[in-house]
Every structure is written in structure tokens, then in C-alpha cells.
Amino acid sequence: MLDNDIALTAVGVTVPLLLIMVSIENIFAAGAAVLAGRQLGAQDREGASRTVTTIIGLSIGLGILLCVGGIVFIDPLMRAFGASEASLPLAKDYAFWMFVAALANLPAQSMNCAARAESSVKISSIAVITGAVMNIILDPVFMFDWGLNMGVEGASLATTVSQFITFFILIWFYASGRSIIRIKVQAFRPSWALIKTVTLIGIPTAVIQICLSVASSLTNIAASSLPQSDEIIAAYGVVQRLVLIGCYVVMGFMQGYQPVASYAFGAKEEDRFHQSVRFALKGALLLTVLVAAAYILLSKPLILLFNRNPVIVDFGRQLLASQVALYPAFGLCYMMTITFQTIGSSRMGLFLSLLRQGLFYVPFILTLPKALGVTGIYFSQPAADVLTILVCLCLIRPMKRMASKNMGEQVL
């Protein structure tokens, strides 16, 4: 399995689609978490319960739609995201269970964000960690020949089972009456005003994921015209998984920051809000520096965990180092996107969410590989990150002034 290059390529093909699905989850989850946090800060528990209940209900419906639509159109979707004839069957096997997981993923993400919004961090951590541990345990059982011998499909099924476990833990938490925010049928009141508010808040986070997906797809397309394209795409698929782990470390930290900032903003506690911003800024930069250092120093052994083909390992080592060379750009940009979301500045949040992997990375990945070959792929991310850092540094002070101004004018 570890030496199956086609299997790695197939999994790499599904990464952009996975990111799109995660981005759809985040529109509702992040938006509901911020709005509910503001409402709790203003002591409006009924409003928070109405927001969360409605968004969870809509998430269930959207999960069903994504599951059915994805399975029905699985073949053209895999081809559109770069699957070759050789990798298509395995890509479809992996994607099938990924679509099934949407039934649990979307409502679970909304419930998880709501739990963090009310500072129920313990149950949120238990749910996520339990799912992750089960995934680690089930992966080899489902994948390898001493277990169910399902290969790539087994890896996807293990992830899906684990995500349903997380979903049921969160269902138990809310059904048990232990939460501050109550999920109840009578609180399900969808309205265009609520959906619009939540969507405007959540879109910047979703756009970051969509831009990651687009960037990943364009990188695969750029690599497909180069010599040894299958090896480059296989290596890039491994690198994307590792980079996503780094992204989730930073996102997890930011998800801890956002409820604190939202509550302080809703309660109009300006000093506490700015204190949380300073802490989040320092924390994001420190985390991204540590992740970058670990990935650069351990690039070869990390790639070897997934594949032992020397060509893929060499490409993967250089790709990983180039992807995280200026990784603090991601931490800085994501932290500021979250802050602009929290203070009600959706336009600035949207602009920043488009910045790194959209407005800057896309032009580089479309042009540099054509001129420089695989070296152009190596240089595209650092070039985008330099420009991202420059823009974000120019926006820090305006962000703080806007927060103070909006805090005095906010209307929930």
C-alpha cells in the first residue's frame, strides 16, 4: 500500500474536493459560532439557541444533498479534478465514503463550533480526539491484508466511521441537556435574515478552503504537463496532506481564539478583545514558525512515511520545504481573516481570505511552471507568501481601529 504510487495519486486527486466540502461546512459552522458568541456575550441565550438549532438543521439537509449529488456525479467529478484512467477506479473508491461522511460532517462541525462558542471546550476536544484516535486504529484494520484488505477504500471508510463517532458524541452532549445553547425543534426557525448573516460571517473561512482547493487543482494541472507528472502529483498529494495537518493546527488555535473574541466583542469589552487579538497574533506566528521548522527539518522522513519511491520522496521533500518556507504568512492572514469576521467586517475578511492562495498564488502557479518546470512549482508558494505578509502587515492597525469603531455600533 505504501509503495502503491497510483493509490497515492488517487488520494491526491480527492484532496481539492475534500477542501471544497470542508469549506461548505465552514460557511455555516464558523458563521453560527461567531453569531452565537456575540449573542451569548450580549446575554441573549434564546437567540444563540435559535441560531445554532437552525444552522444544524440546515447543515443536515445540505449534508444529504452533497452526499447524494457527489455519489451520482462521482465519475465526472473525479475526472474534472485530474484523475487519470489509471487512478480513476481508486479515486472513486476513496471519494464514495468521503461523500457518505458529509451526512455526519456538516452537522457535527456546526455542533462543534457551537460548543466552542459557549466555551464547552472539553466536549469539543473529546469528540474530535475520539474520532481521530478511532481513525488511527481503524485505518490499518480496514486497509491492510491482515485486516479487511480494502486498500484506499478502507482508509476512506475508516475516516467516515470516525467522523460518525464524533457526530454521535456531540449529539449526546446536546441531547443530555448539559449545554448552555439548547437545540430544540421549536427553535428551528430558518429565515433569510439569519441565513444571510451567518453566510456573510462564514464565507471568508470557506473561501480560504476553496482557494486551497483551487490552488491544489491548478498545481496538479501544472504538474500534469511536466516530465514525471505522475510522480510529482503523487508527491504533491502527500505534501498537501502534511500541509493540511499544519493548517489544522493553526485553525484549531484560531477556533479557540474566535469564541473569546466574539464574546468580548458582543459584551463590548474592548480591552479584553484587543488583549485576545494580541495573544492570537503572537500564537499564530509562533505556531507557524514551529510547524515550518519541523516540516523542513523532517521533510524526508515524513515523506517516507507515505512512500518509499526515491523519485517521489525527492520531489516530496522539495515540495514540502517550499510550501512551508514562509508559512507564517498563513498564520498571519488566517488570524486577521477570523478577526475581521468577528468584528463584522465581511468585506475585509473576504479580501484576506482570497489573498494568499487566490489572488497571489494562482497567477504564479499558472506562469512559473511553464517557464521553469517543476522549479516554478517550488517557487510559486514562497512568492505568494511574501506578498501576503506585506499586505497583512499594512492592515494590522486599520483592523484594530475598525474593531473599536464597530464595537460601539454593533447590532446583533
Dump pLDDT digits (tens) for 18-74.
777 877 777 888 788 888 888 887 788 888 889 889 988 999 999 999 999 989 998
Cβ pair 327, 289 in contact under 8 A: yes
pLDDT < 70: residue spans in the chain? 1-5, 408-412
Helix axes 374-409, 328-342, angle to 10 degrees: 30
Cα 171 → chain centroid: 22
Residue with cell 448552555: 180
Q: The C-alpha cell of 233 is what?
A: 502529483
- Read off the amino acid at residue 353: S
| CB burial of residue 362 (10 Å; 0-12, 13-18, 19+) | middle
User: What tens digit of pLDDT does each residue of 199-217 get?
Assistant: 888 888 778 878 887 888 8
Q: In angstroms, rounded to a whole number, what is the distance separating the alpha carbons of residues 277 and 110?
A: 24
pLDDT at residue 161, as a whole number: 94
The pLDDT value recorded for residue 149 is: 80
Residue 84: DSSP 8-state: -
Which residues lie closer than 8 Å to 153 by C-beta, 6 or more apart? Answer: 90, 93, 94, 96, 97
- State the pLDDT at residue 411: 46
Separation CA 371–CA 217 (nearest Å): 19
Alpha carbon distance 160, 103 (integer Å): 10
- End-to-end alpha-carbon separation of the chain, Å? 52
Distance CA(80)–CA(217), nearest Å, equals: 9
Q: Are 143 and 158 in contact (CB under 8 A)?
A: yes
Domain spans of the chain?
A: 1-190, 203-412
Could you tell me if 184 and 49 are in contact, meaning their C-beta atoms sit under 8 angstroms apart?
yes
**How far is Cα 135 from Cα 154, in angstroms, rounded to an integer?**
11
From CA 311, how far away is CA 212, in angstroms rounded?
A: 25
